[in-house]
């Protein structure tokens, strides 16, 4: 199977990218984008991958984002360094970072780099995964992948959200639905690793020994700036593409974690927890439904929220309380275990064990409301 290399497709010129993105966006909005998915994205040398024309999401809502297949290049050979690395001096304390822990390895992926690439194909030991980030919806999800399978950016958008593709089956995937929506893998729900989203300032203090994705990508992007402008990150600012399901209960760019029961499809039972509601310090919420017994732990000033099952595999129901001033430890229980942000027991009789993640991720309110109309807001 031939893999397409993004560095052959992209012209290393960010000004050309901006111009192309703006022109394509204007063209899409003027035309209504009704025929956007009939445009076949091209590979190197004008090769045409054989993509299916059958979608399980509304085809008329699949829009051409502009850059084309791999026009936003994935990072397939990531390079990592220490937090003190000189090449990371461009990172700003208030900008966000996505973090993952697999075993004892902790890695961080700054959004200032992810903005420009959206996908990092990575592995830790024998675990293969792709860090996926959509700067338009603010959502970051780590997808499990098989060895030799790579994800890339399709160039298509569904409800402002990233549509991925894989270079093995040439299927396309909705990031926020976490499933194949086109091609041989259509309808397949993907497995994930839990990630956290917080600020660079907080991350540095919590995980000073972690490995950080470096901007050693061979692309001359403006990693120190804002791809869609600084205003895009705030308040009720505009979106790049239209919103189908407007919901004005919260401002568009309010960040929060959504808890999904069952499959992440439009009629799923979803509850949204705004990070701004958690307050100072570490606070937790016990959230019970007919399907899950979850604990959602978050902090407004530390700028994060995470969710896990309170029921252990052996049936034990944990009685969890928040721990203050001991990050990355955030909870303790009736057995004396200490649990960190990734749900690992770092002290106590269950040390080394980990909590089962709840299907959840962090993103902007407008995107959650658009993908899951009728969702609840936890007050």
**pLDDT, mean of residues 28-52:** 48
Structure-block tokens of residue 127? 């675990």
Nearest to 275 by CA among 294, 246, 251, 292: 251
pLDDT recorded at residue 2: 31
42 pLDDT more than 80: no
pLDDT at residue 29 greater than cutoff 50: no
CB 365 within 8 A of CB 373: no
The pLDDT value given to residue 246: 96
Give the tens place of pLDDT for each residue, 305-326: 999 999 998 889 999 999 999 9
Structure tokens at 150: 């790579």
Say if CB 41 and CB 16 are below 8 A apart: no
- As a three-state string, the secondary structure of 136-191 is CCCEEEEEECCCCCCEEEEEEEECCEEEEEECCCCCEEECCCCEEEECCCECCECC
Higher pLDDT, residue 291 or 122: 122
pLDDT score, position 6: 34
pLDDT tier, 18 (very low <50, low <70, confident <90, very high otherwise) = very low
For the cut 50, the answer to whether the pLDDT of residue 35 exceeds it is no
Per residue in 334-370, pLDDT (tens digit) is: 999 999 999 999 999 999 999 999 999 999 999 999 9
Q: In what order do the strands lie in the sheet with 283-288?
A: 283-288, 293-299, 304-309
Average pLDDT over the chain, rounded to an integer: 88
* In the predicted structure, residue 44 carries a pLDDT above the cut 50: no
Confidence check: pLDDT of 36 > 80: no
pLDDT in tens, 64-104: 999 999 999 999 999 999 999 999 999 999 999 999 999 99
Task: Report the alpha-carbon distance of residue 189 to residue 44 in Å, rounded.
Answer: 29
pLDDT of residue 52: 85
156 DSSP β-pair partners: 64
Torsion angle of C-alpha atoms 326, 332, 336, 338, degrees rounded to 10: -50
| DSSP per residue, 251-290 | -TT-EEEEEEESS-STT-EEEEEEGGGS-SS-EEEEEE-S
Q: Could you tell me the pTM of the whole model?
A: 0.88
Query: Bridge-partner residues for 258, per DSSP?
Result: 272, 361
């Amino acid at each position: 199977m031939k893999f397409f290399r993004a560095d052959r497709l992209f012209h290393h010129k960010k000004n050309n990218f901006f111009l192309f993105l703006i022109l394509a966006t204007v063209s899409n909005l003027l035309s209504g984008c009704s025929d956007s998915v009939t445009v076949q994205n091209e590979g190197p040398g004008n090769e045409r991958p054989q993509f299916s024309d059958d979608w399980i999401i509304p085809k008329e809502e699949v829009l051409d984002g502009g850059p084309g297949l791999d026009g936003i290049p994935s990072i397939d050979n990531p390079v990592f360094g220490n937090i003190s690395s000189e090449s990371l001096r461009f990172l700003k304390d208030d900008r966000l970072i996505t973090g993952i822990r697999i075993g004892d390895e902790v890695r961080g992926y700054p959004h200032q780099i992810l903005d420009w690439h959206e996908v990092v194909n990575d592995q830790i030991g024998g675990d293969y995964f792709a860090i996926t980030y959509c700067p338009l919806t603010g959502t970051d999800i780590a997808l499990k992948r098989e060895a030799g399978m790579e994800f890339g950016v399709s160039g298509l958008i569904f409800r402002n959200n990233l549509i991925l593709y894989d270079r093995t089956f040439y299927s396309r995937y909705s990031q926020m639905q976490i499933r194949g929506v086109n091609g041989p893998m259509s309808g397949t729900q993907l497995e994930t690793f839990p990630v956290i989203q917080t600020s660079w300032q907080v991350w540095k203090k919590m995980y000073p020994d972690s490995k950080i994705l470096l901007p050693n990508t061979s692309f001359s992007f403006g990693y120190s700036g804002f791809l869609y402008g600084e205003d895009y990150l705030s308040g009720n600012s505009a979106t790049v593409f239209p919103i189908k399901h407007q919901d004005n209960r919260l401002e568009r760019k309010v960040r929060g974690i959504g808890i999904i029961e069952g499959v992440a499809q439009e009629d799923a039972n979803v509850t949204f927890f705004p990070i701004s509601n958690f307050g100072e310090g570490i606070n937790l919420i016990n959230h019970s439904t007919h399907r899950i017994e979850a604990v959602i732990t978050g902090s407004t000033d530390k700028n994060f929220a995470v969710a896990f099952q309170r029921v252990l595999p052996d049936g034990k129901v944990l009685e969890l309380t928040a721990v203050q001033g001991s990050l990355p430890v955030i909870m303790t229980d009736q057995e004396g275990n200490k649990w960190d942000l990734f749900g690992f027991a770092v002290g106590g009789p269950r040390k080394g064990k980990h909590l089962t993640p709840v299907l959840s991720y962090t993103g902007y309110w407008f995107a959650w409301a658009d993908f899951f109309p009728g969702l609840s807001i936890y007050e």
